[in-house]
Amino acid sequence: MGHTPYGYRIEEGRAVIDEEQAERVRELYRGYLSGLALMPAAKQAGIETWHGSAKRLLQNRHYLGDVYYPAIIDRETFDKAEQELKKRAEKLGRVWEQKEEEKVTYPVDFSIKPMEKQYEDPFMQAEYVYSLIESEG
């Protein structure tokens, strides 16, 4: 098994909530949703961490509860934090969504005169063939 998420501990092979840490996680969510930046919200919650780690704590789906981990926060709080993270990132211009490539269509409707000459030089042959194109649509 990998790393046990902050807010939990393992007892007899099962994940249980570490209430002291879980309350810090809840406080992190409250602080962030009240308008604090990631680092100040973490500091206010008593969690000594970096900016990126605080963000990962807010994005940790285990806090919603799953088969192994009991829930620490409710879905509404998690969703609000996710929306706030996205809103702030967009406001700062940090969201880059790949745009669909515009499909370019080239005209292929043309007529060509019959080829009457044959050149040994491929460049001369190509020039001659291109000169036979009468119209493009």
Bridge-based pairing of strands 133-136 and 110-112 is antiparallel
Q: Model confidence over 90-104: pLDDT tens digits?
A: 898 887 777 788 888
- Give the CA angle between residues 38, 39, 44 to the nearest 5°: 100
Q: 59: which residues sit within 8 A by CB, 6+ positions away?
A: 82, 85
* pTM greater than 0.75 (yes/no): no
Q: Model confidence over 25-47: pLDDT tens digits?
A: 999 999 999 999 999 999 999 99
Residue 61 DSSP code: G
The amino acid at 92: L
Q: 69: which residues sit within 8 A by CB, 6+ positions away?
A: 5, 8, 15, 62, 63
Distance CA(134)–CA(110), nearest Å, equals: 7
Can you tell me whether residue 45 is helix, strand or coil?
Answer: helix
| CB atoms near residue 68 (< 10 Å) | 11
Tell how many helices (H) and how many strands (E) occur in the chain: 5, 4
Is residue 74 over pLDDT 70? Answer: yes
Distance CA(82)–CA(79), nearest Å, equals: 5
Strand blocks (E) in 46-125 = 110-112
Is residue 1 over pLDDT 90? Answer: no
